[in-house]
């Protein structure tokens, strides 16, 4: 099985500059969380280094806490309890889990169900996170499809219930974004003015970029090695998340099966190669990247253009040609390398 554990998709271009001015490097720390590399970079040069490092450690601690809170592989957290009690009873959850689930359902509503955290049961059939990922029996998938429906998540005060027995929650399409947001929150509470929290290519930038007007973020080519960029994005503080068909996948009988599933079919969504979303917080960027990927290029770009403060780039193929379409509000800020895309959608 071809299994890419992680791919750093977005690369900061901060260090790459023609300027001869001696620039201070950011203070950085890296950890492995959520099956991926998490990097915190601080560009605040006024605080003492010791204080910054302590703040970064606190941010990592908070991010580990949320990893445990959102993970599907821990069977004692609220997410597991909600799933276990599906069709039986409503579960009292923390306000934090309540609002994370609410936010997830809002993304479902905006994407007309393309993003759906009740994908859990079907995702488990594919076993993407294991060594024995395989195409499940199609009849089995069809029989499970009625158990994927965000409308069957019931919210009542502090309680959440999945109304159909067997339903399973999977926060894999949005948890990384929330974790990034919380990491940034800790850093800001610690008095840090400027930095980047990045997890497996999704990131949130806060504060001003030293030495330059804008931050520059490289977008990786979805079909070339990790080192090759397809475009560069210039931005102020924002969040950026990408969903791609090359991040977690296996090949069976010459066909690529990746981990972004269409809730309507239970099979990998086929319309896009990658979707990068740019918006204020990382939770929404992450959720919309997954949802827009499922919607495909046409419906996806229409949705992005309709959502205030959400921008994005969708890459897709037509025949053998890699194409892209960019939302209206991003066109001024994104620059594609001339030889990287053969056609423009």
- Say how many Å lie between the first and final Cα of the chain, rounded: 33
Under 8 Å between Cβ of 187 and 197: yes
Under 8 Å between Cβ of 154 and 165: no
Taking the least distance from each CB to ligand ADP, the nearer of 14 and 245 is 245
User: Is residue 311 at the binding interface for ligand ADP, with CB under 6 A as the rule?
Assistant: no
Taking the least distance from each CB to Mg ion, the nearer of 27 and 314 is 314
User: Is residue 294 at the binding interface for ligand ADP, with CB under 6 A as the rule?
Assistant: yes
Q: Which does 196 bind (CB under 5 to 8 A by kind): Mg ion, ligand ADP, none?
A: none
Pick the binder of ligand ADP from 239, 243, 317, 327 (CB under 6 A). 243
Question: What track of x and - describes contact with ligand ADP for positions 144 through 183 (by CB under 6 A)?
Answer: --------------------------x-xx--x-------
Choices 54-62, 102-110, 167-175, 206-214 (CB under 5 A): range interacting with Mg ion: 167-175
Half-sphere exposure of 252 (CA within 13 A, CB side): 12
Under 8 Å between Cβ of 178 and 66: yes
Q: Is 82 left (phi over 0), alpha (psi -120 to 50) or beta?
A: alpha
- CA–CA distance, 138 with 211 (Å, rounded to integer): 55
Under 8 Å between Cβ of 288 and 299: no
Taking the least distance from each CB to ligand ADP, the nearer of 26 and 312 is 312
Residue 212 DSSP label: S
Looking at beta carbons, which residue is closest to ligand ADP?
A: 172
Pick the binder of Mg ion from 44, 170, 198, 286 (CB under 5 A). 286
User: Is residue 289 at the binding interface for Mg ion, with CB under 5 A as the rule?
Assistant: yes
Query: CB of residue 175 vs ligand ADP: minimum separation in angstroms?
Result: 8
Residues 97-126 that bind ligand ADP (CB under 6 A): 115-117, 119, 123
- CA–CA distance, 103 with 34 (Å, rounded to integer): 20
SS (H, E, C) 97-157: HHHHHHHHHHHHHHCCCCCCHHHHHHHHHHCCCCCCCCCCCHHHHHHHHHHCCHHHEEEEC
Taking the least distance from each CB to ligand ADP, the nearer of 42 and 141 is 141
- CA–CA distance, 166 with 86 (Å, rounded to integer): 6
- Binding residues for ligand ADP, rule CB under 6 A, total 22
User: Is residue 286 at the binding interface for ligand ADP, with CB under 6 A as the rule?
Assistant: yes
Pick the binder of Mg ion from 104, 242, 276, 290 (CB under 5 A). 290
Under 8 Å between Cβ of 177 and 287: yes
- CA–CA distance, 20 with 36 (Å, rounded to integer): 34
Among candidate residues 228, 229, 204, the one with its CA nearest the CA of residue 219: 229
Q: Kindly state the helix (H) or strand (E) to which residue 344 belongs, with its residue range.
A: none
Residue 56 dihedral angles phi and psi, to the nearest 5°: -65, -45
Choices 19-27, 86-94, 282-290, 321-329 (CB under 6 A): range interacting with ligand ADP: 282-290
Pick the binder of Mg ion from 26, 173, 201, 268 (CB under 5 A). 173
Q: If DSSP codes are grouped into helix, strand and coil, which group holds residue 105?
A: helix
Choices 145-153, 207-215, 279-287, 325-333 (CB under 5 A): range interacting with Mg ion: 279-287
Query: CB of residue 30 vs ligand ADP: minimum separation in angstroms?
Result: 18
Which residues are at the interface with ligand ADP (CB under 6 A)?
115-117, 119, 123, 170, 172-173, 176, 200, 202, 243, 247-248, 259-261, 263, 286, 289-290, 294
Q: Which residues bind Mg ion (CB under 5 A)?
A: 173, 286, 289-290
């Amino acid at each position: 099985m071809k299994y890419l554990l992680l791919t750093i998709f977005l690369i900061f271009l901060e260090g790459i500059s023609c300027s001869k001015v001696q620039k201070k490097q950011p203070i950085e720390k890296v950890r492995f969380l959520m099956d991926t590399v998490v990097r915190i970079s601080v560009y605040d040069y006024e605080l003492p280094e010791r204080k910054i490092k302590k703040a970064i450690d606190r941010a990592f601690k908070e991010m580990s806490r949320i990893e445990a809170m959102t993970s599907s592989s821990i069977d004692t957290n609220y997410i597991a309890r909600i799933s276990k009690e599906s069709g039986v009873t409503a579960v009292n959850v923390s306000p934090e889990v309540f609002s994370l689930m609410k936010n997830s359902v809002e993304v479902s509503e905006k994407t007309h169900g393309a993003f759906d955290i009740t994908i859990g049961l079907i995702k488990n059939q594919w076993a993407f996170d294991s060594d024995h990922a395989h195409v499940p029996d199609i009849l089995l998938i069809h029989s499970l499809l009625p158990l994927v429906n965000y409308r069957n998540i019931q919210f009542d005060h502090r309680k959440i219930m999945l109304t159909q027995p067997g339903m399973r929650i999977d926060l894999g399409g949005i948890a990384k974004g929330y974790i990034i947001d919380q990491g940034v929150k800790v850093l800001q509470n610690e008095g840090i003015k400027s930095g980047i929290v990045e997890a497996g290519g999704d990131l949130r930038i806060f504060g001003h970029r030293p030495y330059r007007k804008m931050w520059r973020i490289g977008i990786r080519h979805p079909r070339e090695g990790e080192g090759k960029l397809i475009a560069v994005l210039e931005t102020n503080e924002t969040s950026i998340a990408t969903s791609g068909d090359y991040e977690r996948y296996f090949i069976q009988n010459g066909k690529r099966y990746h981990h972004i599933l269409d809730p309507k079919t239970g099979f990998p969504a086929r319309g896009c190669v990658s979707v990068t979303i740019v918006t204020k917080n990382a939770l929404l960027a992450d959720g919309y990247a997954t949802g827009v990927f499922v919607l495909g290029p046409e419906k996806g770009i229409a949705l992005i253009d309709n959502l205030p403060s959400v921008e994005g780039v969708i890459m897709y193929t037509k025949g053998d040609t890699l194409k892209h379409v960019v939302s209206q509000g991003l066109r001024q800020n994104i620059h594609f390398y001339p030889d990287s895309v053969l056609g423009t959608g």
